Amino acid sequence: MDPEQINEFVVGYLKKKGFSSAAKDLEDFHHHNNGSSLSSIDYHNDPELTKLIRSFSQQEDDPTRYRECYSKLRSWAYNSLDLYKHELLRVMYPVFIHCYMDLVGKGHTQEARGFFNSFRKDHEMVHLRDLQKLEGVLAPSHLEEMEFARSLRKSKVNIKICQYSYDLLLQYLHRTESTLMLGIINEHINFQVYSGQPTSSSDDIEAVTIVGSFQDTANHINQKEIQWGLLEDSLEDRLEKTGGLLSDSEKGQGESKDGDADDSKKRPTDIGKQGSSIKKLKKDKAGNATAKVARLETSTVPPTPRVKPELALPVMSTDVEQTILEDLRNRVQLSSVAMPSVSFYTFVNTHNGLNCASISHDGSLVAGGFSDSSIKVWDMAKIGQTGSGALQGENDTNDPTIGPNGRRNYTLLLGHSGPVYSATFSPPGDFVLSSSADTTIRLWSTQLNANLVCYKGHNYPVWDVQFSPFGHYFASCSHDRTARIWSMDRIQPLRIMAGHLSDVDCVQWHPNCNYIATGSSDKTVRLWDVQTGECVRIFIGHRSMVLSLAMSPDGRYMASGDEDGTIMMWDLSTARCITPLMGHNSCVWSLAYSGEGSLLASGSADCTVKLWDVTSSTKSTKAEEKNVNSNRLRSLRTFPTKSTPVHALRFSRRNLLFAAGAISKPAS
Amino acid sequence: MSIVPKETVEVIAQSIGITNLLPEAALMLAPDVEYRVREIMQEAIKCMRHSKRTTLTASDVDGALNLRNVEPIYGFASGAPFRFRKAIGHRDLFYTDDREVDFKEVIEAPLPKAPLDTEIVCHWLAIEGVQPAIPENAPLEVIRAPAENKPHEQKDGPLIDIRLPVKHVLSRELQLYFQKIAELAMSKSNSALFKEALVSLASDSGLHPLVPYFTNFIADEVSRGLNDFQLLFNLMHTVRSLLQNPHIHIEPYLHQLMPSVVTCLVSRKLGNRFADNHWELRDFTANLVAMICKRYGTVYITLQSRLTKTLINALLDPKKALTQHYGAIQGLAALGHNVVRLLIVPNLEPYLRLLEPELDDEKQKNQTKSYEAWRVYGALLRATGLCIHDRLKIFPPLPSPSPSFLHKGKGKIINTEPQKRKLSVDSSENRSPQKRLTTKDGPDGVQSQDHTGAALMEVDNPVENDKQPQNSAQPSSSEQTSDANESESRNGMVKESGRGRAITMKAILDQIWKDDLDSGRLLVKLHELYGDKILPFIPSTEMSVFL
């Protein structure tokens, strides 16, 4: 290295740092002492030093350096060994977004945009939503303002990487002197290095979701114990016992096998505890079912674990109880070979105004929530009675809103002052709850056709409301990022569940009423304990906003559907995704488990109802079957509708599937 | 740097009254504008999702603005999409096309119909896992074998994709439907019920599983019932309905269906009774064939060529019966004028020579044979006539106001004329077919007596015939003018208009002869062969030029 070069470096460095006069002096000095040695340090023979000087002389915050370094790293990663490639590529995304945010933060908007556009293609497939959000960030102030960006900046990303890949990466970074990349990686990525072979690329769902700081907390939370068993003394429970007498026992036995096989070790102790608690319970709920409890004591250990309710549950009238029992007794057994019948309710002439649809548990009532703040409830049983002739006559009259006998054939419920986003029937079908953009939830009586209560509490539009499986309690969720638990007799919420990082879009009760699940725009699903209001599970894996949830009737599994059409099935106790179900290509609006939990139905904006075989998938995760075809959750059937997006699904207690949707004119 | 250019910011600033906005300020604002817009859109998309829609509307944006405590933008209903117009002279400047509405018009306009109220319609999407084929459901996909991978049992052998025959279960309803239709078709009656059935066949969805059964049924019955005229007619109607049904994909079955259809066109004998109007059946089938070719010709490239080959073979085989010839001619004619020009016209002269003895009353004593011959002659005449009519029509400089339809009408008369003759068989005695063919002299009996135009023609015939040789030999302009005048006198309708135009026609004439010698020659040739009878097919103005 000749001295002139060194001089150049020094001058360049000084200039860059703003010491222009010093640089000038130095130059002058050089002119005077042409060629003479300046310093006693022997930097001629010290390569490390020259490198250091060279790196200093390059402009440190030169925006083009980001691009150079990143593209170098990228091409290196893409050319790496196939075995380690996917692990190394996983590093690229956090580096990419942090490079971009660094550029924005330093005010190089132009370069940031250029950088973003040239490399966004690499990450679009997996991270499209995040990229869309980040794309708009163009000023340092936006970084501060936007929560997503802020959480990214503050937190470190956890990346699991095998020892060898990690070494490769570090070697590369040191060898090429890319201090910039090294800095970003050190600052924002937390490597969890493990020894052994790299994992296969398919099971890294967690790795692709950047969840900010709560990855650790999520892991921590998911350690908590949950009791997903069914309620003791539930109707199903009773049926199983009486069912043995009614020679309907194969179902009960099948279920018991299923339950026992997968019981974790802690269960027997729980059951033991329950056994001892039964007597206490007897006192608590003396009015409800003394006879039943007595029978329970005599019977053997219940097949699926039973838990006691943490809420005081409403007492069911005997009439209702009898009808439900009757329904359960007459339930059609569904399986992959015995498919359900699907009855489809098509809304016509909605003028694009139907926001939500809901079907009562017996399928006789259908409610629609409209964007003009109205709720309309149809009694399908009555429509069936009057027959199609009456409907025909109605169309012929001049005023189509009023039928021949002077009234509409639906009940119009007016009261909200904003689009109605959700409606739900109480289990016996005597109440309707609706939530609206006007931040309120309203309770309506289907017998009086009138508004009974208005629940105020949310500060922003209430996206979803759901009655608990036993009525009386209900859960709501809102744009204000909270989910709330209410009871019908109080106008204040009983619990507020806060923790989601974005809108809470959907809510669903666990069959034993002790938990609720919420799906959010932050792409996670959380499970909350109703009694304590604590988050007990975080399910990470969706790649876009979660739109629908369903709980399996045995309380063990949960299904969630998202905006992209992916459905994920989760094991509640382990918080693991059993298998993602691909098949829909648009938003999954609705999910429903069949009565005995063997089938999952999904309704989507792509105008199809799909049936999935649940049993095959759960088995395959347990004992990894050799048959390659069936180890994924199988799509059994696809029922295309006639350009009708499917808004709501409901399995009746007798396992008839009801679906509802508004017909949309095909795009011309 | 931002997708919002600073010019946009400046324009908006101007439009709300800020005139002294510094360019730097605009430049600073632009990224922020983009960020805010994205923010609003993100919220709007949430609103859209919760309204269970996949298209963003103005109301979603209003909802998003509400969420941010911003006053919504009024006046944008979620009706039709906005039309953006490009500002002339600017590259990237657009504005919404906001039409001015006259209040008076709005007030005076009748009230629009009240929109229909929301209803719920209930149907079975599936019954025990099977989708019933009812109009409420989406049409079934074309039935195909499920693409199930065979278990790898025979790994040692070469990879052969074995597809087991697929068993389709036909629902009870469909079976009944098929039986009923088959019964109706076999009942040989032309009842109203059968007509209803045909309509149902042509419009109902969900019939696709029955198509193989129908094709089989039709093929069987056609081969068995060639003597039963009404049955054949019913079957052809059924075919037509099946073809018309938009929900049926009939392509895979065409190869089975075509032989039956062609049989009904060119079979020697259709029906066993004299009264059976098999001509009508042949005409109907000819149209059917043309319809098939038009619709599936693009999919089955060989379809038309194979069909024309069959037909022309039938036509050119002198051993074939005249009825077969007739069917072939009708079939070819229905396929279009080009087919006629390319296939019939070149063979016209030898064929007519062949037909000549049959047409001659003296030589052909058999009444039926003679009648058939006249039928064939009429079909040929019509086919070639329409062909030449089509050819002549394409001349651009000749405005032909009304005559074309008049002549078409005449063409029909000629076409139906043999039928009339059938009714009064003895009237054919005073005709001399030979004369007509060679166009010698004397009043021609072709035209029916009740037609005034035809009567006029009779009067003019001798004159025309005189000119004819000259005309074809050497068309000089002076002669043509006179010819034109004469021909106009033939035709009362054209008289006034044609005469005035005759002079100008002269000028155009040369060009036409130059332009399309081919058509001219064709016309001349046809005239030689047919004589006057071709004339009604020629649009009057053109005729005035050509003669």
A434 CA to chain B: closest CA distance, Å? Answer: 14
Work out how many CB contacts closer than 8 A connect A with B: 168
Please name the residue of chain A whose CA is at the shortest distance from the CA of residue B141.
A640
Question: Is residue A244 predicted with pLDDT exceeding 90?
Answer: no
Instruction: Please answer yes or no on whether B38 and A421 come within 8 Å at the CB atom.
Output: no
**3-class SS shares of chain B: helix, strand, coil, % to 5:** 65, 5, 35
B479-to-B2, B470, B506, B508 alpha-carbon distances in Å: 80, 9, 11, 15
pLDDT tens profile A169-186: 888 888 887 778 888 888
CA dist B249 and A51 (Å) reads 74
Task: Flag whether pLDDT at A267 surpasses 80.
Answer: no
* Nearest CB partner across the interface for B50, out of A132, A463, A641: A463
Structure tokens at B8: 């946009």
The shortest C-alpha distance from A493 to chain B (Å) reads: 22
* DSSP per-residue string spanning A33-75: TTT----SS-GGG-HHHHHHHHHHHS-TT-HHHHHHHHHHHHH
Going from the C-alpha of A558 to that of each of A372, A388, A572, A583, B343, the distances in angstroms are: 33, 40, 7, 18, 72
The greatest distance separating any two alpha carbons of chain B, rounded to the nearest whole angstrom, comes to 106
CA proximity to B264, closest of B276, B242, B279: B279
Judged by CB atoms closer than 8 Å, whether chains meet at A110 and B52 is answered as no
Asked whether residue A249 carries a pLDDT value surpassing 60, the answer given is no
User: If 0-12 CB within 10 Å is exposed, 13-18 middle and 19+ buried, where does residue B5 land?
Assistant: middle
Q: Which residue has the tokens 């069912």?
A: A243
Residues in A touching B51 (Cβ below 8 Å): 355, 371, 419, 421
Q: Do A419 and B51 touch (CB under 8 A)?
A: yes
How many helices (DSSP H) and strands (DSSP E) are in chain A?
19, 31
Mean of per-residue pLDDT scores for chain A: 76
User: Is A106 near chain B, with CB under 8 Å?
Assistant: no
Q: Which residues, listed in sequence order, are joined to residue A354 by a DSSP beta bridge?
A: A370
CA distance B123 to B134: 9
Bridge partners, residue A603, by sequence: A590, A609
* Residue environment code for A167-200, b if the CB has 16+ CB neighbours within 10 A, otherwise e: ebbeebbeeeebebbbebbeebbebeeeeeebee
pLDDT of residue A356: 93
Q: Which residues of A touch B126 (CB under 8 A)?
A: 339-342, 609, 637, 639
The tens digit of pLDDT for each residue in A132-156 reads: 888 888 888 888 888 788 888 887 7
State the nearest Cα–Cα gap between A344 and chain B, in angstroms.
5
Pairwise CA distance, residues A454 & A441, whole Å: 6
The predicted pLDDT at position A598 comes to 87
In the Cβ-directed half-sphere of B507, how many Cα atoms lie within 13 Å? 4
Alpha-carbon torsion angle B263, B269, B271, B277, nearest 10: 90
Smallest Cα distance from A594 to chain B, Å: 14
Buried (b) or exposed (e) across A263-289, using 16+ Cβ within 10 A?
eeeebeebbeebeeebeebbeebeebb
Q: Return the SS3 of A108.
A: coil
Task: Identify which of B31, B46, B131 has the shortest CB distance to residue A139.
Answer: B31
Q: Which residues 540-579 of A have a C-beta within 8 angstroms of B?
A: 545, 547, 563
Measured between beta carbons, the chain B residues lying within 8 angstroms of A147 are none
A282 pLDDT higher than 50: no
Residue A422's pLDDT band (cuts 50, 70, 90)? very high
- Sign of the alpha-carbon dihedral angle for B302, B305, B306, B307: positive
Per-residue pLDDT of chain B (547 residues; tens, 9 = 90+): 577 888 888 888 888 888 888 888 888 888 888 888 888 988 899 999 999 988 888 888 989 998 888 888 887 765 666 677 788 777 777 787 777 888 888 888 888 888 788 888 888 888 888 888 787 777 765 444 444 443 343 344 444 555 556 666 777 888 888 888 888 888 766 678 888 888 888 888 778 788 888 888 888 888 887 777 788 888 888 888 888 888 887 877 888 888 888 888 877 777 666 666 778 888 888 888 888 888 887 777 777 888 888 888 887 877 777 788 888 888 888 887 777 777 777 777 777 777 777 777 666 667 777 777 888 888 888 887 777 777 766 655 444 444 444 444 444 444 444 444 444 434 334 444 444 443 334 344 333 334 444 344 444 444 444 444 444 444 444 444 444 444 444 444 444 444 545 556 666 665 555 555 556 666 666 666 666 666 666 655 555 555 5
Between CA B337 and CA B343, with CA B338 as vertex, the angle to 5 degrees is: 105
Interface TM-score (ipTM) > 0.85? no
Contacts of B66 in chain A (CB under 8 A): 437
Output the pLDDT for position A216.
Answer: 62
- Which range is most confident: A77-91, A110-124, A351-365? A351-365
- B-facing residues of A in 211-250 (CB < 8 A) are none
pLDDT at A447 over 50: yes
Residues in chain B with CB shorter than 8 Å from the CB of A355 are 50-52
**Which residue, among A108, A350, A371, would best test binding to B if mutated, counting the most B CBs under 10 Å from its CB?**
A371
* A142 neighbourhood in chain B, CB within 8 Å: 31-32, 35
Task: Judge whether B9 and B36 are in contact, CB under 8 Å.
Answer: no
For an interface test with A, give the residue of B49, B78, B247 to mutate (most A CBs within 10 A).
B49
Lookup: tokens for B153:
């049992």
Extract the tokens encoding A508: 């669903």
Interatomic CA distance for residues A112 and A108, integer angstroms: 6
pLDDT-derived band at A485, boundaries 50, 70, 90: very high
Cβ distance of A589 and B52 shorter than 8 Å? yes
Answer yes or no: do B51 and A142 touch at CB < 8 A: no
Regarding beta strands A365-370 and A375-379, do their DSSP bridges make them parallel or antiparallel, or are they unpaired?
A: antiparallel
Query: Which chain B residues have a beta carbon less than 8 Å from that of A376?
Result: 118
Q: Which residues of B touch A637 (CB under 8 A)?
A: 126, 129
Q: Which of B31, B125, B136 sits opposite A109 (nearest CB)?
A: B31
Tell me which residue has tokens 């207690």: A653
Question: How far is residue B190's CA from residue B184's CA, in Å, rounded to a whole number?
Answer: 9
Q: What percent of chain A has pLDDT over 70?
A: 72
Partner-chain contact A338 B128, CB within 8 Å: yes
What pLDDT does A543 receive?
83
* Cβ contact, residue pair B46, A410, below 8 Å: no
Q: Do A339 and B54 touch (CB under 8 A)?
A: no
SS3 (DSSP) at A445: strand
Residue in B54, B63, B149 nearest the CB of A605:
B54
CA distance B157 to chain A (A): 22
Q: Residue A341 and residue B120: Cβ atoms within 8 Å? A: no
- Find which of A141, A333, A642, A668 to mutate to test the B interface (most B CBs within 10 Å of its CB): A642
The Cβ-side half-sphere exposure at A541, using a 13 Å CA radius, reads: 25
